[in-house]
A and B are shown apart, each in its own frame.
Chain A
């Protein structure tokens, strides 16, 4: 199923006929989709439908799985990220990622944020690094909670704070795209609400893609929704359309709770 969004819109990322194999098993079958900076895009679908796998192809995190193989083309600003000679390190600096479970490094809060800017040489001098850390934490809505204990360990924060720390960490390297793989699945409703609020605030500044199990969450935070099923992209369009007036029978069944 091909996307309905116009081909000449200024897509940040563009996937064309992407298939992903784990060994000989095909996990993603010929998916084409455009991701735009102005919107939050959510991927929904039942467990095992390939939405997380597809998300990980967008910054080549699938490279860490030896048996995974990607076919087709994924472009970032018109540049194929799977071409030979592509610098994966540069790619991941431009396309950041937040994981399902918060995974702060066992370092101080400050060092967690400073990690990315340091390895990419983004800061000139200590003062500048301090500024980057503060700005990132402010954007992630965590500054007021942690400003007095920046030297405490990142792992000592609560789950929701840890996840916002991970978002701040991703923001600190000034990415263009942020991929979020079920960022709220390990969090309680209050922490979830904070993250959703944060996603809304970040919209427009970064292209955001969020994989979620919760259809309510997709409806709340995203403007574009893609429904995956059995490795196929069944339907992709405006979130309001998908939820109120799906074109495909399978989408309708999933949204009305017939399966999933």
Chain B
């Protein structure tokens, strides 16, 4: 039985519990019309329904994880499984094939030897389906009955329901946090494995990057794992070139939108600018690789720079800067708009012009918010992958020449993970170490930015 059907069963049981409990509450009301119930009848309904559904859902979650194992074990215990090969791919394939036929997902088997396994599978599936349905019903009924028996006219169903709902909300919010934590932990483990092979000092301070995924994994050459060129490329493209584009343009557009644009224009321009933030980065990547990069090269050639390549840090950085404009602009917009109008009026009343007011009062007052916006934008830019994959190149150059191809941390993560090296090769594992560094840097930037924004908010409240 698939979890979907069990789920439906749970919902039906819940509905039944809801109706029964509400009817019960009404009957309390009819029996003693003078006395007020402690909660609305529907809260009694929800109380019982939640007591049915939540335990059943927990059971279904556990069951759908455990059931396939149980089925497989019982098949392996059957005499038909005696001829299975001990280990390896073939054994797995045969089991999977037989299972697919038994559940009706496939018509037949490729390997005739698997055929004998179909019947045990069907038997086991049937048996465990019954166990699953019966347990679901039992648990649902148990929860329902227990909660139903607690119903009394003075039972505070509303506070109970609200507490359960709060618990569910808390759980939902924990999912994102736990996922982040999980990602962090998995990164840490792989990073530690990598640092077991290459010393962190070689990694963090070495200036040559060229891992050899085909080399002997037991004896890697630490001088080929110096990540400085990658860090430099990332900072040069994401935090320098992109910001040279994004900060002035974003700030100026925010100033125009908050201070000069008439409301009708603003109504159109602001969403239009924010649409930029929704363009998939792959599309920016095309634009960078097919339009901007050749243009940059042609301009470079025409002014006599003969060694300009078609992949350049400049092209990737320019396009990334454009991509980041909405982030800078919308944060700057918000923080300029958050400066109290009294400040602007005060300056205008002194006889300051509008541009003096903006330059000397509004922007300085909004500066913390603007800085925070820029930090968030940087953390977004250095984590950006597609544009650099398509336009910046793969060569790990440690150079200040924006016309040279450069590579970034994100690009190398992609390259190392999709490369030919086996999974426990240091070249592959280096992707995790790079990801770990990136994670820490963006985490720090976001943390600082949020702190700055918070302090800034407090200053005006």
Flag whether A212 is at the interface (Cβ < 8 A): no
Kindly specify which of A31-39, A98-106, A137-145 makes contact with the partner chain: A98-106
Question: Within the assembled complex, what's the spacing in Å between the Cα atoms of A104 and B353?
Answer: 17
Q: Which residues of A contact B353 (CB under 8 A)?
A: 89, 119
Known interface pairs A89-B353, A119-B356. Does A105 touch B361 (Cβ–Cβ under 8 Å)? Answer: yes
Known interface pairs A115-B360, A119-B360. Does A105 touch B349 (Cβ–Cβ under 8 Å)? Answer: no
Kindly specify which of A1-9, A165-173, A193-201 makes contact with the partner chain: A165-173
Q: Which residues of A contact B165 (CB under 8 A)?
A: none
- Is A99 a contact partner of B342 (Cβ separation < 8 A)? yes
Of A66, A94, A105, A173, the contact of B365 (CB 8 Å cutoff): A105
Question: Within the assembled complex, what's the spacing in Å between the Cα atoms of A247 and B11?
Answer: 80
Q: Which residues of A contact B309 (CB under 8 A)?
A: none
- Is A64 a contact partner of B346 (Cβ separation < 8 A)? no
Q: Which residues of A contact B351 (CB under 8 A)?
A: 89-94, 96, 116, 119-120, 173
How would residues 354 to 392 of chain B score, 1 for a CB under 8 Å from any chain A CB and 0 otherwise?
Answer: 001000110011000000000000000000000000000
Q: Which residues of B contact A92 (CB under 8 A)?
A: 348-351
Q: Which residues of A contact B360 (CB under 8 A)?
A: 115, 119
- Is A119 a contact partner of B350 (Cβ separation < 8 A)? yes
Within 8 A of A (CB), among B113-133: none
- Is B352 a contact partner of A119 (Cβ separation < 8 A)? yes
Q: Please, which residue of chain A has its CB at the minimum distance from the CB of B349?
A: A97
Q: Which residues of B contact A115 (CB under 8 A)?
A: 347, 350, 352, 360-361
CB distance from B173 to the nearest CB of A (A): 35
Question: Within the assembled complex, what's the spacing in Å between the Cα atoms of A116 and B360?
Answer: 11
Flag whether B343 is at the interface (Cβ < 8 A): yes
- Is B364 a contact partner of A61 (Cβ separation < 8 A)? no
Question: Within the assembled complex, what's the spacing in Å between the Cα atoms of A43 and B404?
Answer: 70
Flag whether B340 is at the interface (Cβ < 8 A): yes
CB distance from B41 to the nearest CB of A (A): 48
Within 8 A of B (CB), among A83-133: 89-94, 96-97, 99, 101, 103-107, 115-116, 119-120
- Is B352 a contact partner of A89 (Cβ separation < 8 A)? yes
- Is A96 a contact partner of B364 (Cβ separation < 8 A)? no
Interface size range on B against A: 20 to 34
- Is A59 a contact partner of B350 (Cβ separation < 8 A)? no
Q: Which residues of B contact A104 (CB under 8 A)?
A: 346
Question: Within the assembled complex, what's the spacing in Å between the Cα atoms of A61 and B350?
Answer: 11
- Is A96 a contact partner of B459 (Cβ separation < 8 A)? no
Question: Within the assembled complex, what's the spacing in Å between the Cα atoms of A99 and B349?
Answer: 9
Kindly name the residue among B348, B350, B353, B365 whose own CB sees the greatest number of chain A CB atoms within 10 A. Answer: B350
CB distance from B266 to the nearest CB of A (A): 12
- Is B349 a contact partner of A106 (Cβ separation < 8 A)? no
Question: Within the assembled complex, what's the spacing in Å between the Cα atoms of A207 and B365?
Answer: 32
Kindly name the residue among B347, B361, B364 whose own CB sees the greatest number of chain A CB atoms within 10 A. Answer: B347
- Is A103 a contact partner of B350 (Cβ separation < 8 A)? no
Q: Please, which residue of chain A has its CB at the minimum distance from the CB of B350?
A: A116
Q: Which residues of A contact B344 (CB under 8 A)?
A: 64
Of B350, B356, B365, B459, the contact of A170 (CB 8 Å cutoff): B350
Q: Please, which residue of chain A has its CB at the minimum distance from the CB of B263?
A: A66
Question: Within the assembled complex, what's the spacing in Å between the Cα atoms of A91 and B349?
Answer: 9
Flag whether B420 is at the interface (Cβ < 8 A): no
Of B342, B348, B364, the contact of A107 (CB 8 Å cutoff): B364
CB distance from B32 to the nearest CB of A (A): 53
CB distance from A180 to the nearest CB of B (A): 11
Known interface pairs A92-B348, A92-B349. Does A103 touch B343 (Cβ–Cβ under 8 Å)? Answer: yes
Q: Which residues of B contact A119 (CB under 8 A)?
A: 350-353, 356, 360
- Is B365 a contact partner of A106 (Cβ separation < 8 A)? yes
- Is A106 a contact partner of B364 (Cβ separation < 8 A)? yes
Within 8 A of A (CB), among B299-319: none
Flag whether B345 is at the interface (Cβ < 8 A): yes
Question: Within the assembled complex, what's the spacing in Å between the Cα atoms of A210 and B457?
Answer: 33
Question: Within the assembled complex, what's the spacing in Å between the Cα atoms of A104 and B350?
Answer: 12
Q: Which residues of B contact A97 (CB under 8 A)?
A: 349
Of A64, A91, A106, the contact of B459 (CB 8 Å cutoff): A106
How would residues 65 to 96 of chain B score, 1 for a CB under 8 Å from any chain A CB and 0 otherwise?
Answer: 00000000000000000000000000000000
CB distance from A210 to the nearest CB of B (A): 15
Q: Which residues of B contact A90 (CB under 8 A)?
A: 351
Of B263, B342, B348, B364, the contact of A101 (CB 8 Å cutoff): B342
Q: Please, which residue of chain B has its CB at the minimum distance from the CB of A111?
A: B360
Question: Within the assembled complex, what's the spacing in Å between the Cα atoms of A104 and B349?
Answer: 12
Q: Please, which residue of chain B has its CB at the minimum distance from the CB of A166?
A: B346
Q: Which residues of A contact B342 (CB under 8 A)?
A: 99, 101, 103
Q: Which residues of B contact A170 (CB under 8 A)?
A: 349-350
Question: Within the assembled complex, what's the spacing in Å between the Cα atoms of A64 and B340?
Answer: 14
- Is B345 a contact partner of A105 (Cβ separation < 8 A)? no
Q: Please, which residue of chain B has its CB at the minimum distance from the CB of A118?
A: B360
Question: Within the assembled complex, what's the spacing in Å between the Cα atoms of A155 and B364?
Answer: 14
Kindly name the residue among A59, A96, A105, A120 whose own CB sees the greatest number of chain B CB atoms within 10 A. Answer: A105
Question: Within the assembled complex, what's the spacing in Å between the Cα atoms of A254 and B86?
Answer: 102
Q: Which residues of A contact B349 (CB under 8 A)?
A: 59, 61, 92, 96-97, 99, 170
Question: Within the assembled complex, what's the spacing in Å between the Cα atoms of A116 and B352?
Answer: 7
Question: Within the assembled complex, what's the spacing in Å between the Cα atoms of A96 and B361?
Answer: 18
- 20 sampled A-B residue pairs with Cβ under 8 A: A59-B349, A61-B349, A64-B344, A89-B351, A90-B351, A91-B351, A92-B350, A93-B351, A105-B347, A106-B365, A115-B360, A115-B361, A116-B350, A116-B352, A119-B350, A119-B351, A119-B352, A119-B356, A119-B360, A170-B350
Additional A-B contacts beyond A64-B344, A96-B349, A166-B346 (7; CB < 8 A): A91-B351, A92-B350, A97-B349, A99-B349, A106-B343, A107-B364, A116-B352
